Structure 1
Amino acid sequence: MNKTKIGIFINSKLQLKENSDLIRWLINKENLAIEILVINNNSNKLINFFLNCILIFENFFSKSEELELPKYPNNKIILNDKNFFKKDDIENITNLNLDIIVNLTPENFKGEAFKLSKFGIISSNIFRKFQNQNNPPGFWEVYNNQPETNFSLTIQKEESTQNIIYEGNFSTQLIFSLNRKFSDNKKSYYLKKIIDFIIINKSFPQSLEKREDIKNILKTPTFIQILFYMFFAYSRILKKVIFKYVFLKKSNWHVAFSNENWKNNSLKNLNVIKNPKNHYLADPFLYKYNNKYYCFLEEYSYLKKKGHVAVYEINNNAYQRLGVCLQESFHLSFPYIFNFDGKIFMCPESSRNKEIRIYESIEFPLKWNLKKIIMKNVSASDSMIFKYKNKWWLLTNLDNSDLNDHSSELNIFYSKNGPITDNWIKHDTNPIFIDSLKARNGGLIFENDKIHRVAQSVGFNIYGKSFSLNQINQLSESQYSENKLYDVKPNFLKNIKGTHHYNGIDNLTVIDFCKDNYFNF
């Protein structure tokens, strides 16, 4: 069997360690051979030294396995030339007859470099959208407290044009090393998909768009900026530790409701449901049954460190807790309710059990039995199921990286056999979004024939900072589009820092919000 020959370009041995999962995957693929590893040492030596010191320090407590590379005659070249390649380098690499080059450096290739591989150069970049690419990847987003870290995966066969295969953003992590590692791990899933496609089809995957007139202007931090980063980043960590262990700070979620329609709700006349002792409340969904309004929500136990589903009855400005209606040995939240064949079903979030489950109401509202596991071996969160144009649709947030990140990607599946089935078909354009500012579901609201998706948005180091309400305009097996109606920020009550869920029926609306509490004994 002829193996696909690949070359890997990185900036340092440390970066090789950070991308160990991807490299190990490449090594273990039977139909692929790593022919050469190129370490590009073309950077400011002093700045690079300090940045690497930061990464080594921040990675000191993290565990990672040592990576053993296969031994090839020319599996390592140190590049010092300012033009990225010297003439001898070009000749040495050309003689290997590479099929693919994977460029994990922030540099763009130039000139003769595009003749080095048959199918082109796959570049993995982290950048600030619509601005120059930044170096080192993942640093400036933390430095500027930017909520999202943008990326692109491109294929190039000529200097002036990049074919964009994937692009989007992931949530920015607290410090440089974590952000870089997190982004690399998230990107590697899509990088593997591109490589697999080329190996199988002997061609490029279809590109989203072409980017012309590429300029490789790298913004590298100065020594003063590195010192600023160290001061603010490590002060932030120290502050978190002090507030958690000295002031016993806890971020508690709460649920509130108002007797106003969801569409024109001012959020000024909210009735806050009191959290039970040692619990918080979140993810409220309303359901109308026999002219009564019921609110199903996540009730998280701090003592058990997991959530279950509880139900409240709401009557005008009053509420009553009816009890726990669903609990398992694993965490449950996001109790989405839908109807099918005259029966009531619930699809709660059960990502810790690696399943998407549907429960049937036996005695409404307190007794539910497991009806069907519709997906297994998936890390899926905040799933919503509904009927639209003779098909059943599943909107869910999958994590393909084992990082427990459900904020980045929105995936859609459809069924022609009703919702109680494990025969769900992937949407042609999955993932619909790779965008931590709008991918994660936060509720679904129906208005006549219109469907509105609530989309969560992360903040810098804040989960569930805000949300937007979006009208779904187009939904088919191959297309999806939505139009943002408005944003909701955490400013409708005093001293709150986040809100990530919204739901409404008739003239009743529910919302959740996050607030810091101190000295929780």
Structure 2
Amino acid sequence: MSTLRFGVMCAGERLESAFAASIDELLKIEGVELALLIVNAHPPARSSMWTKLKRLASLNGTLWAIFQRLFPPERLSCYRPRDMSAVFAGVPRIRCRIIRKGKFSEYFDPGDVERIRGYGLDFILRFSFGIIRGDILDAARYGVWSFHHDDESKFRGRPPAFWEIYRGEPTTGAILQRLVDRLDAGIVLQRCTIRSRAWSYGENLNAIVWATAHMPARVCRDILVGCARYLEAPPSRTEAPIYRPPNDLQMLRFLIKTWSAWVKRQVEGVLLVEDWRVGVVEAPLHAFLQPGFRPKVRWLPNGKPNTFRADPFVVTLGPGARKLLLEEFDYVADRGVILELDLDGCGAPTSWPRTAIDDGMHMSYPYLLEHEGHVYCVPESWQRRGVSMHAFDRGQLRWRPGVPIIKDFPVVDPTVLRHDGLWWLWGTSGDDEPDSKLFLWYAPDLWGPWRPHPGNPVKVDVRSSRPAGRPFLHEGSLYRPAQDCSRTYGGGITINRVTCLSPTEFREEAAVHVEPWDRKYPSGIHTLVGDGALTVLDGKRVVIAPDLLGRRLTHKLLRLARSLGSRTRREPSR
């Protein structure tokens, strides 16, 4: 295996925590070596008092400066400085001089560029310097890589993750790019999209910076297995405007927007609850690949007050007999259990719902599959930090206790499928962007051993990552339903077409988007499962639950008190 040698542009021994995590991930890969530190000999100095006074007098950017002073980025976990002296020990370093041209452009001294070339680097990570241009961009085999924490097709410039909130964008994007001379329009190596935190700039920025930490390691793994064709792609053709820090009027609007979103979030968190319901459609699942397909839904009865039913899965047990499993969530108990009921050939219930699987902790997403004449259920129970599989005992008509197949990972919505001779399991993480980061495992046998895909997370996209039902084949292509949580949890479904699935690669593309269409449940749909000529799904509406008002208000106040208490403990006395 060839070795990948990389350099790091930095200001010294301390590095922001998320960027340090990127280096940690790189150094975990066999065949990747930190070979050079490129240190800024003259890091930018703080603004002079005269400059600050002029800015204050101009009323242009004063509020942004005050906001930065009150809420410095260094308080965010992603930007908290971390001592890297142990990691950097023994690594050669070059202190480089910068030649400024124009107002923003920085060029490296030609002698420094040649010295850097002499180290035979494969790529350089930029964590320091400004807008660099010139020969330094080609000083490594694969160039200089840099994060841009915005969607470059809409927002170039700065501040990162700010203008999405200001413009009311439901999502915040980011890229890892190979730099070119054109600002924030480089060769896109990796891309991610998360849901915007409209109520807090700090939360939004922190989330998107952490969401990108894995990207350099992902590219390196692709290079090592020969799957990084995107390195030679053309640069982005974006014509997005270049933004600068907000003026005072823009900052006032921004503060009003975030405050309003925060108040709305708190009020809705107390007054409103999600009410899901399971429905049946007499049409095959592949019919939803037709744009605009909006069939009639036959909604099944709901349960007792202060509960909802969602996540339906169905399987045929014999001629004219189907079994339906679903989650029933109890707001008072604050957990879900798995119910089952029998259906006839047309999807009509032939039994009352009854408890199928309940291990005392929250359970949902009762994924059903058949293998070698047996029926298995793989429910979500991520708080147990693993995945277990329950076999159905046809003789005793009950589900056997679960057998673990994945341990030490909090898998959300585990989705299992056999394809091209291997078993595959998709899911997200209960600990890390559960609506955005998709993880993949594979195994030679259903019972394992299961191995994590080397590209994990294989995808970070809140619009099409989190599983939403059983993948299916149609006309030779594999399709994977996924949730679109960009505007709200379970707001819609994206059916992805899987274009590459192997132990070294995973790629998929959006084939069709399914929005909720039934007026009774207009707020969401997040499960779509087919069984022959029948499809089961769920729908969401948002309702006021008077019985839960006191309970939810108490819970909200306790969370707020704990949050304020933790902040007080973290802040040093002055």
TM-score norm. by structure 2 comes to 0.72
Partner amino acid for 1:456?
Answer: Q
Equivalent residue, structure 1, for 2:156: 133
2:504 and 2:84 mapped to 1: Cα distance? 41
Aligned: 1:498 with 2:529 = no
The structure with the largest strand share of the pair is: 1
2:210 and 2:269 mapped to 1: Cα distance? 28
| Residue of 289, 299, 311 corresponding to 1:271 | 299
1:48 and 1:95 mapped to 2: Cα distance? 40
Aligned: 1:179 with 2:209 = no
1:4 and 1:506 mapped to 2: Cα distance? 52
Partner amino acid for 1:309?
Answer: I
Note the alpha carbon deviations across 1:405-437, whole angstroms, 9 max, x for none.
13334444443x32111144737x665543221
Partner amino acid for 1:266?
Answer: R
Equivalent residue, structure 2, for 1:393: 423
| Residue of 443, 449, 455 corresponding to 1:422 | 449
2:314 and 2:208 mapped to 1: Cα distance? 36
Relative distance call for 1:480 and 1:512 in structure 2 (3 A) is same
1:206 and 1:9 mapped to 2: Cα distance? 32
1:318 and 1:490 mapped to 2: Cα distance? 23
Relative distance call for 1:104 and 1:370 in structure 2 (3 A) is same
Structure 1: which 5+ residue stretches go unaligned?
Answer: none
- CA shift for structure 1 position 227: 1.7
Aligned: 1:228 with 2:253 = yes
Of the structure 1 ranges 156-165 and 448-457, higher mean CA displacement relative to structure 2 is found in 156-165
2:7 and 2:499 mapped to 1: Cα distance? 44
2:10 and 2:176 mapped to 1: Cα distance? 15
2:237 and 2:126 mapped to 1: Cα distance? 16
Aligned with 1:441: secondary structure? coil
Partner amino acid for 2:104?
Answer: N
Does the 8 Å contact 1:164/1:209 carry over to 2? no
Give the alignment of 1:21-170 within 5 angstroms: 21-22=21-22, 32=34, 36=39, 50-51=63-64, 53-54=66-67, 56-57=70-71, 67-68=82-83, 70=85, 82-85=103-106, 101-104=124-127, 108-114=131-137, 120-131=143-154, 133-156=156-179, 162-170=186-194
Of the structure 1 ranges 259-268 and 34-43, higher mean CA displacement relative to structure 2 is found in 34-43
Equivalent residue, structure 1, for 2:567: none
2:335 and 2:301 mapped to 1: Cα distance? 20
Relative distance call for 1:95 and 1:403 in structure 2 (3 A) is farther
Partner amino acid for 2:515?
Answer: K
Note the alpha carbon deviations across 1:150-204, whole angstroms, 9 max, x for none.
2221234877994433223223223322121111101012234557899x99x99
Does the 8 Å contact 1:323/1:366 carry over to 2? no
1:449 and 1:115 mapped to 2: Cα distance? 45
Give the alignment of 1:193-232 within 5 angstroms: 193-194=218-219, 207-212=230-235, 218-220=242-244, 221-232=246-257
- CA shift for structure 1 position 337: 1.0
Equivalent residue, structure 1, for 2:572: none
Relative distance call for 1:260 and 1:116 in structure 2 (3 A) is closer
Equivalent residue, structure 2, for 1:325: 356
2:227 and 2:44 mapped to 1: Cα distance? 26
Aligned: 1:308 with 2:337 = yes
| Residue of 377, 387, 393 corresponding to 1:356 | 387
Does the 8 Å contact 2:281/2:536 carry over to 1? yes
Of the structure 1 ranges 405-414 and 502-511, higher mean CA displacement relative to structure 2 is found in 405-414
2:115 and 2:510 mapped to 1: Cα distance? 53
Aligned: 1:347 with 2:372 = no
Does the 8 Å contact 2:8/2:38 carry over to 1? yes
Relative distance call for 1:496 and 1:439 in structure 2 (3 A) is same
Using the aligned pairs only, state the percent identity.
Answer: 17
- CA shift for structure 1 position 147: 2.8
Aligned with 1:325: secondary structure? strand
Partner amino acid for 1:36?
Answer: V
Relative distance call for 1:52 and 1:497 in structure 2 (3 A) is farther
Relative distance call for 1:325 and 1:206 in structure 2 (3 A) is same
- CA shift for structure 1 position 442: 0.6
2:482 and 2:155 mapped to 1: Cα distance? 28
Relative distance call for 1:138 and 1:324 in structure 2 (3 A) is same
Does the 8 Å contact 2:521/2:540 carry over to 1? no
1:470 and 1:195 mapped to 2: Cα distance? 25
2:328 and 2:322 mapped to 1: Cα distance? 18
Give the alignment of 1:250-265 within 5 angstroms: 250-262=273-285, 263=287
| Residue of 415, 438, 444 corresponding to 1:384 | 415
Aligned with 1:459: secondary structure? coil
Structure 2: which 5+ residue stretches go unaligned?
Answer: 549-574
- CA shift for structure 1 position 445: 5.6
2:437 and 2:236 mapped to 1: Cα distance? 29
Aligned: 1:288 with 2:316 = yes
Does the 8 Å contact 1:24/1:67 carry over to 2? no
Partner amino acid for 1:384?
Answer: T
Does the 8 Å contact 1:8/1:34 carry over to 2? yes
Relative distance call for 1:250 and 1:59 in structure 2 (3 A) is farther
2:308 and 2:130 mapped to 1: Cα distance? 47
- CA shift for structure 1 position 5: 5.1
Aligned with 1:444: secondary structure? coil
Note the alpha carbon deviations across 1:36-69, whole angstroms, 9 max, x for none.
3675579997566644644644989977866446
Partner amino acid for 2:384?
Answer: N
2:547 and 2:99 mapped to 1: Cα distance? 56
Partner amino acid for 1:121?
Answer: V
Of the structure 1 ranges 337-346 and 64-73, higher mean CA displacement relative to structure 2 is found in 64-73
- CA shift for structure 1 position 355: 1.8
Aligned with 1:212: secondary structure? coil
Relative distance call for 1:192 and 1:396 in structure 2 (3 A) is same
1:337 and 1:381 mapped to 2: Cα distance? 15
- CA shift for structure 1 position 85: 3.1
TM-score norm. by structure 1 comes to 0.78
Relative distance call for 1:113 and 1:453 in structure 2 (3 A) is closer
Relative distance call for 1:209 and 1:313 in structure 2 (3 A) is farther
2:424 and 2:84 mapped to 1: Cα distance? 42
1:403 and 1:171 mapped to 2: Cα distance? 16
1:258 and 1:204 mapped to 2: Cα distance? 41
- CA shift for structure 1 position 235: 0.6
- CA shift for structure 1 position 346: 1.6
Aligned with 1:442: secondary structure? coil
- CA shift for structure 1 position 386: 2.4
1:165 and 1:283 mapped to 2: Cα distance? 35
- CA shift for structure 1 position 369: 2.1
Does the 8 Å contact 2:426/2:438 carry over to 1? yes
Partner amino acid for 1:396?
Answer: W
Equivalent residue, structure 2, for 1:434: 460
Of the structure 1 ranges 150-159 and 163-172, higher mean CA displacement relative to structure 2 is found in 150-159
Partner amino acid for 1:361?
Answer: F
2:514 and 2:446 mapped to 1: Cα distance? 31
Partner amino acid for 1:169?
Answer: T
Partner amino acid for 2:268?
Answer: F
1:421 and 1:483 mapped to 2: Cα distance? 28
